[in-house]
Amino acid sequence: PAKIVKLASEYEVAVGQSVSLRCQAEGNPKPTYTWTPCESVCHESTLNIPGVLSDGVYTCKVANGLGSDRRFTSLDEQGLLLVKVATTVQDWSMF
């Protein structure tokens, strides 16, 4: 199944600055990436946010025909981007 193998446990960025969220995954077949929410290109391993302006939650999801994995990142009210890791794996190999 698709599995996220690297995502920083914490990003710190001031409100108004740019940030790149990087999500690295492995799997065979090669997994696809989906970031939500998304305002531009969202099917790459990196989500570029040109200027952080408010709180928000971002999800990196990877999937292939055998399963999926996702991790969540959130922006706190003090203007620091904190990554909270929560993993959900769906194994489709038994179906």
Who's near 36: CB < 8 A, 6+ residues apart?
Answer: 42, 58, 59, 61
* Model confidence, pTM: 0.73
Who's near 2: CB < 8 A, 6+ residues apart?
Answer: 25, 26, 27, 31, 62, 63, 64, 66, 67, 68, 69
Check residue 86 and give its pLDDT.
53
Check residue 46 and give its pLDDT.
92
In the three-class reduction of DSSP (H, G, I as helix; E, B as strand; rest coil), residue 78 is classed as coil
pLDDT tens for the chain, 95 residues: list them.
999 998 776 677 777 888 888 899 999 999 999 998 886 668 899 988 888 777 677 889 999 999 999 998 776 545 555 555 555 555 555 44
